[in-house]
Structure 1
Amino acid sequence: ESLVDQVSSWIKEKRAKRSHRKASRKAEDDSAPASPTSMVPVNGKESRPRRGSHASDTSLDLEKLERIVKQTLHLRRSSARKIPHFRRKSSARKLLRKPSSASDTEYFEGDVLVPTCDVVLDNSKTLSYTGGASDVSDESGEEELKRVGSVRDNDAWSRFKFEIVRLSHTLRLKGWRRVPLEMCGSVEVQRLSGALTNAVYVVSPPEDLPLQKEDGTTAKPPPKLLLRIYGPQVEHLIDRQAELAILQRLARKRIGPRMLGTFANGRFEEFFHAETLTPEDLKDASTSRQIAKRMRELHDGIELLDQERDDGPFVWRNWDKWLQRVEQIVTWMDSQIAAQDPNTKPTGSKAWMRRGYICGVPWQQFKAVVEKYRAWLKAQYGGSKHLREQLVFAHNDTQYGNILRLVPAGKSPLLLPANSHKQLVVIDFEYASANTPGLEFANHFTEWCYNYHDKRKPYACNTNTYPTPEEQDRFIRAYVRHRPQFNAATDTPHMTPVGTPDSARPADLARRSTTSISDFMLDARVPPGSSSTNLAAEAATKSAEDAEVKHLMHETRMWRLANTAQWVAWGIVQAKVPGMPLFDPDSPASELSQGEDVAKEIFGEDGLAMPKEEDGEEQEEEFDYLGYAQHRAMFFWGDAVQLGLIGEEELPEEVRGKVKTVLY
């Protein structure tokens, strides 16, 4: 029986008693003689005679109501431990991860259910990299984060941390329900740099959180969390439901971080104790080979769906999806530039016009070259059918900030020299889907040209650092030579090194015992044949390897233009251009999370109202997306000229001097 039904019955019973009392009173009054009220002596004094006690009845009634409420709440708590009550998006219903997870685990058909809620977490006032320190860190003297002196900023971070803790309770993140809302100020929230699409934070639990249990044992502290909040323009770039479906498949292979909970504009992920690679790391020979091995494991480890192959390369799906918005933005920008007086230097909110056409030429000319190139590229494969067969599951965004190096402890198998590449973990699969290996390589090699932490021009494309032919050969050869073998439970076909004779292949790989090392998907290389392997066979193997490397280097060169065009469009969609009209006024506005009563109890009345921006104060864009798009466009023109898609003389004179050309 529900709480509402029980309370309704109680109310009806209460009304019936009240009606009965009224009727009794009326009957007594009618039967009493019309004389002064009789007085009864009490303790020597005359007193009015008492009727039946209403107070005692009321007390019993309230006690009954209290029992009903307590019993129902107790039953709800018990059932809540057994039945998940979360609304889940259809694309994220099942997610597999290890039982020793970082969130309370609910299972459905053997898969783990990731809790989801429709809360919007507002981080518009907490985008700095210096705020978010724990309140107790100011007293300890250990200042990993320095609190911002502004009262407004401190209030914003306090409110932000409160919302994070409350959201962790809603999503039932493991261990975090032991963090009371009153201790939200002791939580440390640190924003990580290098993420261009989202705002990423590391959330650490209070250091002074009581961990003593009632039975005298000590509980483990809540784990650190990675909080990812989607960027404001991301809805135009990324299909979040498709991304969650991708993450589900990756989780089954134990690739990348586990997803712990999602909300309307972001998600919580497993936090890795790792270090992000640097631009210099990409150029290191050993690290470069390790990245190549990891890339091969991803390409071979995740099988493409038939629909993904039928849809074709993801790079063109992105282009087609973003095209309408890009056209709206660039067409408007081009019109503003065309109307600008050439003798007047744009200033203030129009300073962006100094760059001229963002694509170097009017949009229609840029678009026409992309379409011409796309038709040429398709012809190289003899049509869509042959191209379909070349697709692999690719990450498509292997910049240095998306590659972590784990910091293993103890006697981890990762510390073995042969497993050093397993220390690398690729994250951020927002753009992962079907593409050719050549496009994956082209994207990675182009990322060699960027330093997103450069203090002067983090958006700049420095093509002089593009990998040389020797560096490309080293990377691709490591990719070709690597033949990973996965656990039988992953349903991924096992592979062996190139040239391994059939006699040397294991008869039944599926029956191999699973060890702690195999859980890391470590290589189980098959020793090559000894006496049967002669010099001629080795020469044939080497020749086949050289041919494959040469083919992939050629494929990389062919697809580099497609990759560049995609990121030109990406930069344009991400950009905030002053004065630009809202092209999609019907898009749903963000809804801020509710629960003001609880926040009021902790912060007081004044803590609810976030300070407004002062008059004339504008929030500066963190990253120069227009500068990024234009630099990419100059790289686009360099390859377009080399492929003969346009003559150099057809480009404006001021653009020719900015074109970025890589001859290999």
Structure 2
Amino acid sequence: MDGAEEAREFHSSEILSSSLTVSTSLSVHDMKPRIVELCKDLFKKWSKLDDSCFFVETVSGGITNLLLKVSVKEENHEDVSVIVRLYGPNTEYVINRERELLAIKYLSAAGFGAKLLGVFENGTVQAFITARTLTPLDMRNPKLAAEIAKQLQKFHQVEIPCSKEPQLWNDIHKFFDKASSLEFDDSEKQKVNETISFKDAQDEIAELKELTGLLNSPVVFSHNDLLSGNIMVNDEEEKLYLIDFEYGSYNYRGYDIGNHFAEYAGYDCDYSLLPNKDEQYHFFRHYLQPGRPHEVPDRDLEKLYLEANMYVLAAHLYWAFWALIQAKMSPIDFDYLGYFFMRYNEYKRQKEKCFSMAQSYFSCSSSA
């Protein structure tokens, strides 16, 4: 293969594919031979390299997927790196992989995320981004918050050729149906599960769906999982990246923003860290009018403030029932059952305040 052909492997719009599978039950050390085999299968320019030219390390051991950085010393002695993302076991219960791969293609073309280089049976290979992952506290930084808002506004303008129906309530109902029929093999977990009133939860879903329906939040292609771990920044170049679109779908603008705000709390669910009204308005100004943030009318800020905070409630329900399914299905060492209660209890704590704010807004709007 000549140099031009080699370059085309990384810069072509064609997405390479392999039928190989990499078991996530292996340690990273034991996984390496399979990862090397996968890379050689996908990228023909690496097929004759000695296995010692490949170095594999963990980038992230998140609560859904495993990310591995593969660094390759090529024959010209240059180092090239890619990211291999292994889907977590049983994640097909909560993620539509077909929709994700379609979205990546168009979002990548629009300049979002890492370029998709290849797919295999239980994961993807993407270009390596030289940047650091944000922490929840980073998202409070006014400069970074403004840039996230601008990037999200651009993200919401990308057209993806799939169903334009907002998926929020479809997904919540799907998660609820699965969660409410679960039985745990672990007797302690089952005992805790039996304390949940699914009838009450079903009523909460119906009530919130009805009230948020009055908001008429615009429907856009949404990220739906904009936590700190899915935002990267290159501090030297001051370039920010939104990554990982596995939960992406058409959805309500207010939900994508509200879900992002809820993620200020991190996995520890410290909800004292949620952005206050001034911080939210700062975000809204840069989202609604990136070029002229201080010219955003007050009524637009008030409307988006209500949207975002009502949909924070929906985010709590979404991730609560998601967590119950993961508590049963995922082998990852994370207290998903505890996470359910943290999200569901926060929903109940914030419900009255948010519902009261919505009713006050609607009564003022109708009398105006």
When the two structures are superposed, what TM-score results if normalisation uses the length of structure 2?
A: 0.87
8 Å CA contact 1:472–1:553 kept in 2: the answer is yes
Displacement of 1:398 after TM fit? 1.0
Instruction: Let me know the Cα RMSD of the aligned residues.
Output: 2.9
1:323/1:366 CA distance change after superposition, 3 Å: closer
1:623 matched to 2:334: yes
1:291/1:303 CA distance change after superposition, 3 Å: same
Quote the residue 2:49 is aligned against: 179
1:479 matched to 2:316: no
1:117 matched to 2:18: yes
Counterpart pick for 1:260 among 110, 117, 126? 117
C-alpha distance in structure 1 between counterparts of 2:283 and 2:354, whole Å: 24
Quote the residue 2:159 is aligned against: 303
Quote the residue 1:167 is aligned against: 38
C-alpha distance in structure 1 between counterparts of 2:91 and 2:332, whole Å: 15
C-alpha distance in structure 1 between counterparts of 2:297 and 2:163, whole Å: 28
Counterpart pick for 1:322 among 163, 171, 175? 175
Tell me, which stretches of 5 or more residues in structure 1 are unaligned? Answer: 1-76, 83-98, 106-111, 127-131, 133-156, 212-218, 337-348, 409-414, 451-458, 484-496, 499-540, 579-619, 646-664
Counterpart pick for 2:59 among 183, 192, 202? 192
Displacement of 1:400 after TM fit? 0.7
Say how many residue pairs are matched: 355
Quote the residue 1:376 is aligned against: 211
Paired AA for residue 633 in structure 1: Y
8 Å CA contact 2:259–2:311 kept in 1: the answer is no
Quick one: higher RCO (CA 8 Å, sep 6+), 1 or 2?
2
8 Å CA contact 2:212–2:310 kept in 1: the answer is yes
Counterpart pick for 1:291 among 145, 148, 153? 148
Quote the residue 1:398 is aligned against: 226
Displacement of 1:104 after TM fit? 7.4
Quote the residue 1:445 is aligned against: 261
CA deviations 1:611-655 (Å, max 9, x no partner) are xxxxxxxxx74211111111101112123344569xxxxxxxxxx
Quote the residue 1:103 is aligned against: 10
**2:247 partner SS:** coil
Quote the residue 2:241 is aligned against: 425
Displacement of 1:232 after TM fit? 0.8
1:564 matched to 2:316: yes
Tell me, which stretches of 5 or more residues in structure 2 are unaligned? Answer: 357-368
C-alpha distance in structure 2 between counterparts of 1:233 and 1:398, whole Å: 22
Displacement of 1:274 after TM fit? 0.9
Displacement of 1:357 after TM fit? 4.5
**2:20 partner SS:** coil
Paired AA for residue 162 in structure 1: P
8 Å CA contact 1:403–1:426 kept in 2: the answer is yes
8 Å CA contact 1:115–1:261 kept in 2: the answer is yes
Higher Rg of the two aligned structures:
1
C-alpha distance in structure 2 between counterparts of 1:253 and 1:621, whole Å: 33
Paired AA for residue 199 in structure 1: L
C-alpha distance in structure 2 between counterparts of 1:444 and 1:101, whole Å: 37
**1:113 partner SS:** coil
1:558/1:625 CA distance change after superposition, 3 Å: same
Displacement of 1:377 after TM fit? 2.3
CA deviations 1:512-533 (Å, max 9, x no partner) are xxxxxxxxxxxxxxxxxxxxxx
**1:448 partner SS:** helix
C-alpha distance in structure 2 between counterparts of 1:565 and 1:276, whole Å: 26
Identity %: 26
Displacement of 1:124 after TM fit? 0.7
**1:575 partner SS:** helix
Structure ranking higher in strand proportion: 2
CA deviations 1:452-510 (Å, max 9, x no partner) are xxxxxxx4311111111111111111212215xxxxxxxxxxxxx58xxxxxxxxxxxx
C-alpha distance in structure 2 between counterparts of 1:102 and 1:574, whole Å: 37
**2:265 partner SS:** coil
Quote the residue 2:346 is aligned against: 635
**1:479 partner SS:** helix
Which aligned runs of 4 or more in structure 1 are off by greater than 4 angstroms?
99-102
Paired AA for residue 258 in structure 2: A
Paired AA for residue 204 in structure 1: S
**1:361 partner SS:** coil
